[in-house]
């Protein structure tokens, strides 16, 4: 068996067969719970894939989103579609994917954000991601709409100087841009 290798590529550089493979992989990894909107959210940024001779072992992508905080719009890196093949979990493959995505977030964006399931949270907290301590909202068709169901499962990384004021007194709401399907 060949050693797993990490490869990063922007969506625009992935051929249709590679995109189809990633899509099928994510649908399988999320046990059919990966919607067409989820797939759309995964596209348009940088993909990190770990492969070996047996095929795709792990995937994640980081895409650009806009978040408003304390009256300022910020360009952030939003992590999407992180999954590891079921028979290869707990081998550090998710960490390899996240390291590649975090490099992009650190080098290109004000900070990083993601929405984590209870099962996936340990990967992120172990890498220094923290639950956003304030409110989560979206700029919807009728203005800003609070998303209390996303509070406690939205994680951020690299925000110390970017959005959290040193005195801690400013509003602690992140207002994400609208998108179809699950907003976060």
Q: What is the pLDDT of residue 158?
A: 85
Q: Is the pLDDT of residue 183 over 50?
A: yes
Q: pLDDT band at residue 184, thresholds of 50, 70 and 90? A: confident
Q: What is the pLDDT of residue 29?
A: 95
Task: Tell me the CATH class for 5-176.
Answer: alpha beta
According to the 3-state scheme, what is the secondary structure of the chain?
Answer: CCCCEEEEEEHHHCCHHHHHHHHHHHHHHCCCCCCHHHHHHHCCCEEEEEEECCEEEEEEEEEEEEEEECCEEEEEEEEEEEEECHHHCCCCHHHHHHHHHHHHHHHHCCCEEEECCCCCHHHHHCCCCEECCCEEEEEECCEEEECHHHCCCEEEECCCCCCCCCCCCCCCEEEECCCCCCCC
Q: What is the pLDDT of residues 7-50, one digit of tens each?
A: 999 999 999 999 999 999 999 999 988 999 999 999 999 999 99
Q: What is the pLDDT of residue 160?
A: 55
Q: Is the pLDDT of residue 169 over 60?
A: no
Q: Is the pLDDT of residue 166 over 80?
A: no
Q: What is the pLDDT of residue 18?
A: 97
Question: Hey, where are the domains in the chain?
Answer: 5-176
Q: Is the pLDDT of residue 106 over 60?
A: yes
Q: pLDDT band at residue 170, thresholds of 50, 70 and 90? A: very low
């Amino acid at each position: 068996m060949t050693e797993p290798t990490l490869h990063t590529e922007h969506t625009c550089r992935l051929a249709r067969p590679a995109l189809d493979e990633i899509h099928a992989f994510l649908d399988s990894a999320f046990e059919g719970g990966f919607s067409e909107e989820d797939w759309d959210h995964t596209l348009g940024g940088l993909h990190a894939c770990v492969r070996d001779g047996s095929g795709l072992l792990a995937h994640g992508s980081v895409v650009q989103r806009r978040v408003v905080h304390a009256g300022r719009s910020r360009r952030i890196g939003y992590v999407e579609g992180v999954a590891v093949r079921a028979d290869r979990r707990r081998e550090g493959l998710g960490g390899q994917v996240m390291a590649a995505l975090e490099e992009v977030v650190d080098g290109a964006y004000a900070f990083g954000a993601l929405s984590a399931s209870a099962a996936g949270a340990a990967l992120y907290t172990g890498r220094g991601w923290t639950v956003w301590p304030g409110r989560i909202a979206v700029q919807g068709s009728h203005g800003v709409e609070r998303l209390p169901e996303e509070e406690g499962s939205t994680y951020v990384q690299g925000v110390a100087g970017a959005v959290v004021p040193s005195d801690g007194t400013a509003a602690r709401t992140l207002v994400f841009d609208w998108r179809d399907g699950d907003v976060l």
